[in-house]
Amino acid sequence: MIRFAPGMEEALRQGDLFSSDDEAARFWSVDAPDVPYEETTYTGGARQPQRARLYRGDADAPTLLYIHGGGWCGGSIDLNDPATRGICSESSWNVFSISYRLAPAHPYPAGLEDCLAAFRWLQDAGATLGLRPGPIALGGDSAGANLAMAASLALEAQDVAALVLFYGVYGHDLNTDSYRAYRNGPGLTRARMVEMFENYDPEHRRERGPLIAPLNATDLARTPPACLIAAEHDVLLDDSRRMAAALAEAGTPHAFHVEPGVTHGFINRGRLVPAARASVSRAASFLKDLKDPG
């Protein structure tokens, strides 16, 4: 029998009632921290303009580039607004939340190329936005955590300040204990993960490529300090456990926490789920406690 954290069952029921992502985004952003932000664009991997939103922290604070989840096929800046607002408010870091090209219209490597382009665009153009130069942190949830980890493997190690990763996709093994335990949910199912992998990686490069399945990487020792937060009732729980173990074996400083009683996607449900706000606070504290990366 699944034991849910306070508010989690209500959040799941509420999620079934929305008729659109816009409606969901408006509902979940109620009571999110009030931080200044501005809409902008960056130049994507194919030189296309891509939407972004800059949440303003302290003027002299570093910047976190945040990548939304949605199985590489969906999701949005707006759906992640509660978490990105919370991280900005509680850490005082600037948060640059980005869109990117989505599968199946744009399979791998389009989304990753956009994330890398956003990072490099921030390095070059951040000063025009009033952002402090220096290393930039990468963060994301679910597929966004996958893209953040993949981007860190592709970038120069000294340029990436840290990683903030919520319930990420790190491997391609769909027969782990957590996949078997939660194959039918609640929330994300194994069948949905199969579908999303096929949309994002129709050529099955994930079986050998660390930029799709970062657990294939052989150079995790160069990974920056990382904060990994996982959901207990989630097919992807063992992905986070395995990544935490791999980082430990590589000697990479990291923090790993499994939030009990919650499901995949919970961090933006703080309106109803206190554990969501607690996990956002945990990530923000990780950033605040970092030695100044600049």
The chain-wide mean pLDDT, for the chain, equals: 96
Q: Flag whether pLDDT at 294 surpasses 70.
A: no
Residue of 234, 239, 240, 254 marked catalytic: 234
Model pLDDT for residues 15-26, shown as the tens digit of each residue: 999 999 999 999
pLDDT tops 80 at residue 47: yes
How does pLDDT run across 24-37, given as a tens digit for each residue? 999 999 999 999 99
- Domain map (residue ranges) of the chain: 8-289
Q: What integer is the mean pLDDT of 167-186?
A: 97
pLDDT bin (cut points 50, 70, 90) of residue 207 is confident
DSSP string, the chain: ---PPTTHHHHHHHHTT-SSHHHHHHHHHTT-----EEEEEEE-TTS-EEEEEEE---TTS-EEEEE--STTTS--TTTTHHHHHHHHHHH--EEEEE----TTTS-TTHHHHHHHHHHHHHHHHGGGGTPPPS-EEEEEETHHHHHHHHHHHHS-GGGEEEEEEES------TTSHHHHHTTT-SSS-HHHHHHHHHHH-TT-GGGT-TTTSGGG-S-GGGPPPEEEEEEEE-TTHHHHHHHHHHHHHHT--EEEEEEEEEETTGGG-TTT-HHHHHHHHHHHHHHHHS----
Mean pLDDT of 39-52: 98
Q: Is 106 a catalytic residue?
A: no
pLDDT of 129 higher than 80: yes
Catalytic residue among 89, 99, 142, 178: 142
Q: Does domain 8-289 bear CATH number 3.40.50.1820?
A: yes
pLDDT tops 70 at residue 213: yes
Instruction: Indicate if 91 belongs to the active site.
Output: no
pLDDT at 30: 96
**What integer pLDDT is reported at residue 16 of this predicted model?**
95
Give the model's pLDDT for residue 209.
Answer: 85
Q: What percent of the chain lies above the pLDDT cut of 90?
A: 96
Percent of the chain with pLDDT over 70: 99
pLDDT at 63: 98
Q: Greater confidence, 1 or 137?
A: 137
124 in active site: no
**208 confidence band (pLDDT: 50, 70, 90):** confident
pLDDT (tens digit per residue) in 80-122: 999 999 999 999 999 999 999 999 999 999 999 999 999 999 9
